[in-house]
Chains A and B, each alone.
Chain A
Amino acid sequence: DAGVTQSPTHLIKTRGQQVTLRCSPISGHKSVSWYQQVLGQGPQFIFQYYEKEERGRGNFPDRFSARQFPNYSSELNVNALLLGDSALYLCASSTTGYNEQFFGPGTRLTVL
Chain B
Amino acid sequence: KQEVTQIPAALSVPEGENLVLNCSFTDSAIYNLQWFRQDPGKGLTSLLLIQSSQREQTSGRLNASLDKSSGRSTLYIAASQPGDSATYLCAGPSGNTPLVFGKGTRLSVIA
Size bracket, chain B contacts? 20 to 34
Closest to B44 in A: A103
Chain B, 5-37, CB within 8 A of any chain A CB: 31-32, 34, 36
Within 8 A of B (CB), among A76-94: 88, 90, 92, 94
Distance A98 CA – B46 CA, assembled complex (angstroms)? 15
Give me the interface of A with B, judged by CB distance under 8 Å.
4, 6, 31, 33, 35, 40-45, 48, 55-58, 88, 90, 92, 94, 97-106, 108
Find chain A residues with CB under 8 A from B44 CB.
43, 90, 92, 103
A45 to B44: give the CA distance in the assembly, Å: 14
6 contacts between A and B (CB under 8 A): A4-B43, A42-B4, A56-B97, A58-B97, A99-B32, A101-B34
CB distance A48 to B93 under 8 Å? no
B4 to chain A, nearest CB (A): 8
